[in-house]
Structures are given as C-alpha cells and as structure tokens.
Amino acid sequence: MKDILLIGKMGQVGQELQRTLAPIGTITSIGHESLDLSQADLIRQVIRDVQPRLIVNAAAYTAVDRAESEPELAAAINAEAPIVMAEEALQIGASLIHISTDYVFDGRKNTPYLEQDVPNPTNVYGKTKLAGELGISQVYTQPSEIPYAILRTAWVYGTQGKGNFAKTMLRLGSERDEVKVVADQIGSPTWASDIAGAIATLSSHFLNPVENVVPSGIYHFTNSGVASWYDFAVAIFEEAKALGIPLKCDRVVPITTQDYPTLAARPAYSVLSCQKISTVLEAFPTHWRQALRQMLTELYSQTP
C-alpha cells in the first residue's frame, strides 16, 4: 500500500505537489499520458492496484472556453472522474483531496465568497467542476470517519506547466510595446507552489491525524489580497523589470470584459475567503504580490 496517489502530476499544481508531498509519504504519481480520466474503468483499476491511503486529484479539464463546445468531455473529467475516485477511495478506506475552482460562483457578490455560499456557475467549466464537488460530497456523506477535502482555488499561475496568465504576459511583454488587459474582473492571483503547500498540510493531517482532527468538507485557498487581471499584468511587468528582465512592453491598457469577448462567461468578482483554511494552516496565505515576486525569482533562476 502506497501512502499517496497523485493524479495529474504534469499540471502546474501537480508538479509542485510532487515536491511538497514527498516528505509526507511514498507517492505514486500518474499523468494523463498513462491515465485517461474519461475512462472510469481505468481510474478504478489504478486505484485498486495502488491501494493508497490518500488520493490527491490535481487533474482537470481546464480549457474554459473550449469546454463550451466539449461539454461531454469536460463533464467526464471534471464531474464523473472525481466521483469515481471518491467511490473507490471510500471502498479502500482512503481519503481524497480534490482541487476545484472559483468558477463555481457567478461573481455577483462584492465581498469574498464563503465555503457555504450557494454556487451558481455561468459556464460549462464551472458547472462540471460543481458537479464533481457535489458528487464527492454525496459519496462521503455515507457513514464514514474517513476525511476528505475539496479545495477551491483561483487564478492559478506558476513556473511549471505549459501556460498561465503570468507566462503569457511575460511572452507578450517581450514581443509588444503595448498589452491590453481586462480590468473589470476581480479575483486573487494564486501561486501554484502555495496551493501545493496548503494541500501538503491537509494531506499531513489526513495521513497522521492528531487530536484536533481537520474536518471534512470544502475549503477555499488563494493568495491573499485582490486584483483585476489588469492589476496583475501591471505587477508582473513591474516585478519582472525589478529583477532585470528585459521587456519591450511599456504600456498596459485597461479594457472591459465587453472589449474582450470570450466563449465562456467569467465571473466579475470571484474573491474567495480563506478564513476557514487559515485555522488549519495556522497562518493566513501569503499576499499575491509577494508570491508573484517569489515565483518570478524562481522562474528566472531556472532560465539559462
């Protein structure tokens, strides 16, 4: 029996999790190249073969706009696969930690969303992620003392993975004099490394329970502070230039959501309250600007 089965090892959070989970227990890491999450039977077989004490699901269908034209595939990966994981985990007495999203909310609030706020997703991606949440919660409502957690996060970026907003801005900033960025969507930029750290803390509690047992359920985790995508872009360029990174861009222009139409609707406000998880972490998450500086320092220390 392995301690941890990590699903989604090659994503930007998954790659960080390989590092943060290593001190906690033995890990079996699985990527999309060896596990098709649209195939429920394959998921069941992997879990039965590994027999983990904890499953961490960092895999998802995250192409928000493409999901509008591929709802069945998005549902298979974001809704059906996590339910299968929960069912198999419960069968062998394993815990489950599953990553979800701020996009389960419609963005109509103007104060941070709490875990108990009623979701109302406005796009296929958000709807499929919510279906996965609900399915996991229903599986684990069966009489059981086995803990589970659904960790909602938002605006994820990092040094790993193929692409994210920060990497896109750095690329555009090296190619263009001017970059236009949406300024009327508000959230909390979140470093993948910090998400992985929070999941490692939860994992440690689940695998080595102490007197103050961490309760099962939904948790919100993002870096602290709020920003628009415009604010985030400006900060990326400022921090990169402070590190001596040569950029061509000298002008970031704020635009509206209407100026930049997308297939999938985005919430105008998706700030998540992290008060609940702060009691588990025994600290409040790092401010997003500080995390961004750390990420860029790490990214450019890796660059030849």
User: CA angle 108-111-115, nearest 5°?
Assistant: 90
Spell out the domains of the chain, with CATH numbers in brackets: 4-159+191-224+270-286 (3.40.50.720)
Q: In the beta sheet, which residues pair with residue 44?
A: none
DSSP state of 287: B
**Which residues are known to be catalytic?**
125
* Amino acid at position 161, single letter: G
Q: In the beta sheet, which residues pair with residue 100?
A: 152
* Amino acid at position 228, single letter: S
Query: Is 280 exposed, middle or buried, given 0-12, 13-18 or 19+ CB atoms closer than 10 A?
Result: middle
Residue whose pair of structure tokens reads 């002008």 in the numeric block: 251
Reported residue count of the chain is 304
Dihedral-angle region of residue 110 (phi above 0 means left; psi in -120 to 50 means alpha; beta otherwise) = alpha
Reported pTM? 0.96
Strands (E), the chain: 4-7, 27-30, 54-57, 95-101, 148-153, 156-157, 178-182, 186-187, 190-191, 217-220, 227-228, 251-255
131, two tokens? 């279906």
Q: What is the pLDDT along the chain (304 residues), one digit of tens a residue?
A: 579 999 999 999 999 999 999 999 999 999 988 999 999 999 999 999 999 999 999 999 999 999 999 999 999 999 999 999 999 999 999 999 999 999 999 999 999 999 999 999 999 999 999 999 999 999 998 656 889 999 999 999 999 977 899 999 999 999 999 999 999 999 999 999 999 999 999 999 999 876 557 889 999 999 999 999 999 999 999 999 999 988 999 899 999 999 999 999 999 999 999 999 999 999 999 999 999 999 999 998 865 5
Q: b vs e for 13-39, b when ≥16 Cβ sit within 10 Å of the residue's Cβ?
A: bbbbbbebbeebbebbbbeeeebebee
